[in-house]
Amino acid sequence: MSIVIDTNLLYLQDRLNLSAEKLELYQGKSIEDVLEAEAASGNQLAIELANELLTDVNLLIELFKLADPNNKFVILMNMDAQQLKEFLPLMEHEDMVQGLMYFTQDKLLKMLEEVPPEQLVKTVLQMFSEEEVIQLMPEEQLDKLLTSHTIDKNKMLEHMKSIPPEYIAQMLESVTGESCENKDIIDMVKQVGELNPLEYKDALTSLQPTQKQQLTLSLTKENPELYQLFDARAYTKMINTNKQKPELVKAMTVIEDEELIKMLGQLPNDLLSIVITQLDTEVFADQLMKKHPELIADLIAL
């Protein structure tokens, strides 16, 4: 392992009370060498500083300039994938979301298909209105929702009354082959409810596309959970056709941390390291002390 990091020599000079001439003698030396030499010469400050290096977060930040993302990056690049992933739960939500920009849109959509359905729907509704979602949804997906056993038949019949009577008549006639002339909407909806299961399903799928959209929208407004019945792939195709990556990433702010951590964990180490440089500096230094004292020891020795 080789870590080349920009250390704060002025801070070291101040803490050890070194003259400029003395500091010049230590140019190119490791912090460990400096502390050992000063301790050997009787500099009590050097002994105190050496004892603090593995316990004082602020000292670590100052000495190794950890507020500088470049220094964080150098340290992170000396870690393996598993070690890097340990930093992700410590990150702010917004910084994790921003890290998604390092993925291609295709990869983002593929990962989005794997999140829990309710989070996928939330993301989609950040980009599209409910009306737009239903208008853009393929007809076979509307059929899937309308014929789902999830929807109570009585609820469906109640919502069907909002459709213009001529379309209900057309639907019934296509299934039964009988004229609906002189029947009002109440009678026709009642007749739909009396169809056998196969005829009932055929009746729903025979509706005109616009009426399917109207009926679906009416149902989803009453019960938004029905949006989860649409296939994830249908949603991602919709996004891919109509939105660009920045819009998608902005919408993904509703994705929960647990899912974001899974996603970011798929980045290669160099890109994941860049994302983690946005971690709060004190939190970063504290994690180093708790989980990676061996890296701090390497920093001191170089």
Answer yes or no: do 71 and 124 share one domain. Answer: no
Same domain for 73 and 98? no
57 domain-assigned: yes
Contact 34, 89 (CB under 8 A): no
Averaged pLDDT for residues 88-97: 97
What is the residue range of 269's domain? Answer: 93-137+230-278
Please say whether the beta carbons of 149 and 284 come within 8 A.
no
Whether 116 and 129 share a structural domain: yes
Identify whether residues 22 and 133 lie together within a single domain. Answer: no
Average pLDDT over residues 52-57: 79
Q: How sure is the predictor about 80, in pLDDT bands with cuts at 50, 70 and 90?
A: very high
Confidence grade of residue 301 (pLDDT, cut at 50, 70, 90): low
CA distance 198 to 205: 11
Which is higher by pLDDT, 119 or 165? 119
Band the pLDDT of 5: cuts 50, 70, 90: low
Classify residue 120 by burial, with Cβ atoms within 10 Å: 0-12, 13-18, 19+.
buried
pLDDT at position 37, please? 81
Query: Alpha carbon of 222 to those of 58, 155, 158, 225, 293: distances in Å?
Result: 55, 10, 12, 9, 56
Asked whether residue 132 is assigned to any structural domain, the reply reads: yes
Q: Is residue 176 part of a domain?
A: no
Question: Is residue 12 over pLDDT 90?
Answer: no
**pTM (2 d.p.):** 0.84
pLDDT band per the 50, 70, 90 thresholds, residue 163:
confident
* Same domain assignment for residues 54 and 83: yes
18 and 78 belong to one structural domain: yes
Q: Is 133 in the same domain as 24?
A: no
Same domain, 38 and 74: yes
Cα(115)–Cα(245) distance, integer angstroms: 18
Per the structure, the count of domains in the chain is 2
Percent share of the chain, pLDDT over 70: 96
Task: Say whether both 24 and 77 belong to one domain.
Answer: yes
Residue 143 lies in a domain: no
- Residue 119 has a pLDDT of 98
pLDDT above 90 for 91: yes
Q: Where are the alpha helices (DSSP H) in 41-86?
A: 44-52, 57-63, 69-76, 81-85
Is pLDDT larger for residue 98 or for residue 62?
98
40 & 80 share domain: yes
Residue 173 within a domain:
no
Residue 237 covered by a domain: yes
Q: What is the mean pLDDT of the segment spanning 60-88?
A: 91
Residues 240 and 130 in one domain: yes
72 within domain boundaries: yes
pLDDT at 8: 65
Q: Tell me: the pLDDT tens digits for 209-229?
A: 999 999 999 999 999 999 999
> What is the C-alpha separation between 297 and 114, in angstroms, rounded?
41
Residue 25 forms part of a structural domain: yes
Whether pLDDT at 268 is above 70: yes
* 286 and 256 inside one domain: no
